[in-house]
Amino acid sequence: MAERVVDRQNQYLRIEGVTKRFGDFVAVDNVSLGIFKGEIFCLLGGSGCGKTTLLRMLAGFESPTAGRILIDGQDMAGIPPYERPVNMMFQSYALFPHMTVAANVAFGLEQERIARPEIDRRVGEMLDIVKLGEFAKRKPHQLSGGQRQRVALARALVKKPKLLLLDEPLGALDKKLREHTQFELINLQEQLGVTFVVVTHDQEEAMTLASRIGVMNKGQIVQVGTPTEIYEFPNSRFVADFIGSVNMFEGRLIEDEPGHVRIRCEELDTTVFVSHGISAAPDARVFVAIRPEKIEMTRGQSADGENCVGGVVREIAYMGDLSVYLVRLDGGRMVRVTIPNIERHDERIVWDERVVLRWQPSSPVVLTQ
Amino acid sequence: MNDRGVFRNSILGLGLAFLYIPILSMMFFSFNNSRLVTVWDAENSPTLRWYVRLFENEQLLGAAWISIKIAALSASGAAILGTLAGLVLTRFGPFRGRALLSAMTTAPLVMPEVIMGIAMLLLFVAFEQMIGWPAGRGLLTITIAHITFTMAYVTVVVQSRLAGFDDALEEAALDLGARPATVFFKITLPLIMPAIVSGWLLAFTLSWDDVVISQFVSGPGSSTLPMEIFSRVRRGVSPDINALATIMVLIVATGVVASTIWMKRQERKRLLEEQMARSDTP
């Protein structure tokens, strides 16, 4: 797959201090964001975090209580949805049930008073791109879920919008189809070079699609970064916990050097050595987050030293490609460890075996908030 | 057949008899040769004599024509106003006076017809005295009165259709560059059309068989068919009324049966198409 052409100089969409209140409820709380031309930006968050409200403000269905939205330098205040250079793909697809596939796709072009032959040509082109050429004369109810999704996409893209907004684009598809469609969506975006803003609650979807992710919680953007940054370097307990699974231990900072820190964790009954510096007050209360796949598990009786704890296997979940182990530490705390099943006939660790858990000094993330 | 089956079937038979014996006996006696409606003249029946008489009766045919005109006009008026009211009540949020509008549009559903009739009559008389319009009572006043009370039914039907309408459809049309008026005529209207049509048919039927309100607001030369039948029956039931009623029942029954068959077919076609769509590759 070709590397996406993202113009990092050109902040195509600027959201400046946007707030939206519904009565007393603050749906979107002072959000500022810059989105680059040609990227796929995912707004990720749980239900009610304000991501859909933010998307609806971009489309023009809601107007911000405060703040500005600029698309390509133009302030969108007071511009109705039908005059914005933006198209949206709805979660329910919102296909017009009384029109054929071709009429659905042509609807947007007809509003621009383009000549009929030109409309027909562009509709045909678009339907070929989403591989629906032979379904042009069907009505939406005569299509399968995946086909409807592609009609919705074609209808939104045929107007060549500067910005395409996608509300849970894969939410209504089953798992197998979703994975397939994710890659199709990325290919299509690269082919057409349109900037995508995707709203989703599905972290896996966000990780595969996005060039950058904005994690939202309670109306605020908590962290913005590439999928790798968000996963490997979460900036808060919320993000670490929301994306993937994580083992979180509370501890006290006992040594704070520019190149490393040491943290005493009572729950682990050991000291965690982290090979990078952090910015926190000495003796501060901090949290150590370690991803389950970054823990190494071996059979063994006792553990001593830093970054090393002993425990007993309590639960094993075999998932095929990997196995999830729940290990009870000697202090009583449960720890989640995932081990890839590389060998088919491996002598796997089983229930109630004593194990030793170790991790690299570079693996833990230290969180202060 | 076991006991329960017998019981069930006899109850069903009783129910059907209760519903249809009056109509069937009326149809049966329309072929009676006797001048007395309730005495069966076995020698000369069946006969089409009353049907022939009916089509020679200019007065009844004229009344039927007036009824059709009034019903069609008032149903169309009620469909337009009822649709607008339904739209306003579902789409315009909580505006001032919404509760009042909602109560007033649906009031005729529960208001006794006699009261509606008197109120209308008083209003028309007062208007005539004040501004000279409507001059006298006749087709126009009956039509207006019928619009007022049938509109409620259209409003209710349209409102319930709009309540189950995905708002995203209208938003999608706006998003694709359609102005609000275009959205209404190209998206909303076609999609609520079935509700408007059934509202229109309901209004037509209600107007067609209304006697009470028409009685109050009609004038000379504007007797509707039900009014004409009513006044004839008061002078004694004549068999040609049976013939007329039989024709009306047959027309309605044909319409209902045809539309039921058509709807069943559409439904089956739709199910089949959905099954085909599911079996397609994604």
Question: Which string of b and e fits A224-259 if b means at least 16 CB within 10 Å?
Answer: bbebeebbeebbbebbbebbeebbebebebeebeee
Q: Is residue A34 within 8 Å of residue A10, measured between CB atoms?
A: no
Question: Has residue A144 been placed in a domain?
Answer: yes
Residue with tokens 């199709």: A184
Residue from the list A111, A141, A147 with its beta carbon closest to the beta carbon of B176: A111
Same domain, A237 and A250: no
Question: Has residue A21 been placed in a domain?
Answer: yes
pLDDT of residue A347: 76
Question: Which string of b and e fits B107-144 if b means at least 16 CB within 10 Å?
Answer: ebeeeebeebbeebbeebeeeeeeeeebeebbbbbbbb
Q: A30 to chain B, minimum CA–CA distance in Å? A: 25
* Residue range A72-81, pLDDT digits in tens: 989 999 999 9
Pairing of strands A74-75, A66-71: antiparallel
**Cα dihedral A164→A168→A170→A172 (10° resolution):** -130
pLDDT of residue A57: 95
Q: What's the average model confidence in pLDDT over B248-262?
A: 89
Percentage of chain B lying above the pLDDT 70 cut:
98
Q: A166 to chain B, minimum CA–CA distance in Å? A: 12
Q: Is B4 on the interface with A (CB under 8 A)?
A: no
pLDDT of B282 over the 80 cut: no
- Per DSSP, the three-state class of A98 is coil
- Cα A199 to Cα A53, A166, A203, B61, B136, distances in angstroms: 10, 6, 11, 66, 65
Q: Is B280 on the interface with A (CB under 8 A)?
A: yes
- Measured CA to CA, the distance from residue B97 to residue B99 in angstroms comes to 6
Q: Which of B176, B191, B280 would you mutate first to test chain A, the one with the most A CBs within 10 A? A: B176
Cβ–Cβ below 8 Å for B173 and A107: yes
Same domain, A194 and A45: yes
Q: Is B81 on the interface with A (CB under 8 A)?
A: no
pLDDT of A64 over the 90 cut: yes
Q: Is A113 on the interface with B (CB under 8 A)?
A: no
Evaluated on CA atoms A226, A227, A231, A234, the torsion sign reads positive
Which among A222, A241, A260 is the end of a domain? A241
CB atoms within 10 A of CB A291: 22
> What string of DSSP letters covers B250-276?
HHHHHHHHHHHHHHHHHHHHHHHHHHH
Cβ–Cβ below 8 Å for B171 and A82: no
Cβ-based contacts of A59 with chain B (< 8 Å): 171, 175
- Measured CA to CA, the distance from residue A35 to residue A54 in angstroms comes to 14
pLDDT of A303 over the 50 cut: yes
Rg of the Cα atoms in chain A: 25
- Supply the CATH number for residue A78's domain: 3.40.50.300
Average pLDDT, chain B: 89
Cβ-based contacts of A139 with chain B (< 8 Å): 273
Return the minimum-mean-pLDDT range out of A181-185, A346-350, B111-115, B171-175.
Answer: A346-350
Cβ-based contacts of A197 with chain B (< 8 Å): none
pLDDT of B4 over the 70 cut: yes
- Measured CA to CA, the distance from residue A325 to residue A302 in angstroms comes to 18
Q: Is A199 on the interface with B (CB under 8 A)?
A: no
Which among A186, A208, A241 is the end of a domain? A241
Same domain, A180 and A277: no
Cβ-based contacts of A147 with chain B (< 8 Å): 277, 280, 282
Does residue A256 or residue B65 have the better pLDDT? B65
Cβ-based contacts of A88 with chain B (< 8 Å): 171-172, 175
Cβ–Cβ below 8 Å for A108 and B277: no
Residue of A nearest to B273 (CA): A142
- Report the DSSP beta bridge partners of residue A217: A220
Residues B86, B91, B97: CA angle, nearest 5 degrees:
75
Q: How far is CA A250 from the centre of its chain?
A: 26
DSSP state of A293: G
Q: Which of A142, A157, A174, A180 would you mutate first to test chain B, the one with the most B CBs within 10 A? A: A142
Q: A305 lies in which domain range? A: 245-367
| B213: phi then psi, degrees, rounded to nearest 5 | -65, -40
Cβ–Cβ below 8 Å for A144 and B280: yes
Residue of A nearest to B171 (CA): A61
Same domain, A123 and A39: yes
Same domain, A208 and A312: no
Question: Has residue A252 been placed in a domain?
Answer: yes
- Cα A146 to Cα A124, A176, A181, distances in angstroms: 19, 11, 8
DSSP state of B188: I
Q: Is B181 on the interface with A (CB under 8 A)?
A: no
Q: Extract the tokens encoding B190.
A: 């076609």
* Residue range B193-227, pLDDT digits in tens: 999 999 999 999 999 989 999 999 998 888 899 99
Q: Is residue A154 within 8 Å of residue A136, measured between CB atoms?
A: no
- Per DSSP, the three-state class of A137 is coil
Question: Has residue A147 been placed in a domain?
Answer: yes
pLDDT of A206 over the 50 cut: yes
Q: Which of A55, A87, A99, A107 would you mutate first to test chain B, the one with the most B CBs within 10 A? A: A107
Same domain, A217 and A249: no
Same domain, A199 and A345: no
Question: pLDDT-based confidence at A4, cuts 50/70/90?
Answer: low
ipTM rounded to 2 decimals: 0.85
Q: Extract the tokens encoding A92.
A: 């329910």
Nearest residue to B146 via CA among B68, B78, B47, B52: B78
- Burial of A152 from C-beta contacts in 10 A (0-12 / 13-18 / 19+): buried
Same domain, A306 and A177: no
Q: B191 to chain A, minimum CA–CA distance in Å? A: 7
pLDDT of residue B135: 81
Q: A213 to chain B, minimum CA–CA distance in Å? A: 25
Q: What's the average model confidence in pLDDT over B239-258?
A: 88
Evaluated on CA atoms B220, B222, B225, B227, the torsion sign reads negative
- Measured CA to CA, the distance from residue A145 to residue A150 in angstroms comes to 9
Same domain, A43 and A175: yes
The number of distinct structural domains making up chain A is: 2
Q: Extract the tokens encoding A334.
A: 């449960």
Does residue B92 or residue A195 have the better pLDDT? A195
Question: Has residue A2 been placed in a domain?
Answer: no
Residue of B nearest to A149 (CA): B282
Question: Has residue A116 been placed in a domain?
Answer: yes
Residue from the list B174, B191, B278 with its beta carbon closest to the beta carbon of A82: B174
pLDDT of residue A5: 60
Q: Extract the tokens encoding B242.
A: 């049976």
- Supply the CATH number for residue A330's domain: 2.40.50.140
Question: Has residue A295 been placed in a domain?
Answer: yes
pLDDT of B136 over the 70 cut: yes
Cβ-based contacts of A108 with chain B (< 8 Å): 176-177
pLDDT of residue A266: 85
Same domain, A224 and A255: no
pLDDT of A40 over the 90 cut: yes
- Looking from the CA of A308 toward its CB, the CA atoms found within 13 Å total 10
- Per DSSP, the three-state class of B280 is coil
Q: What's the average model confidence in pLDDT over B120-129?
A: 92
Residue from the list B191, B273, B282 with its beta carbon closest to the beta carbon of A141: B273
pLDDT of residue A151: 94
Average pLDDT, chain A: 89
Question: pLDDT-based confidence at A2, cuts 50/70/90?
Answer: very low
Question: Has residue A1 been placed in a domain?
Answer: no
| A274: phi then psi, degrees, rounded to nearest 5 | -115, 130
Residues 6+ apart with CB under 8 A from A245: A291, A292, A336
Cβ–Cβ below 8 Å for B172 and A86: no
pLDDT of residue A1: 39
Does residue A307 or residue A282 have the better pLDDT? A307
Which among A203, A219, A241 is the end of a domain? A241
Q: Is A59 on the interface with B (CB under 8 A)?
A: yes
Return the minimum-mean-pLDDT range out of A4-8, A99-103, A270-274, A302-306.
Answer: A4-8
Q: A114 to chain B, minimum CA–CA distance in Å? A: 13
Residue of A nearest to B194 (CA): A98
Same domain, A122 and A232: yes
Residue of B nearest to A97 (CA): B191
Cβ-based contacts of A92 with chain B (< 8 Å): 166, 168
Same domain, A38 and A159: yes
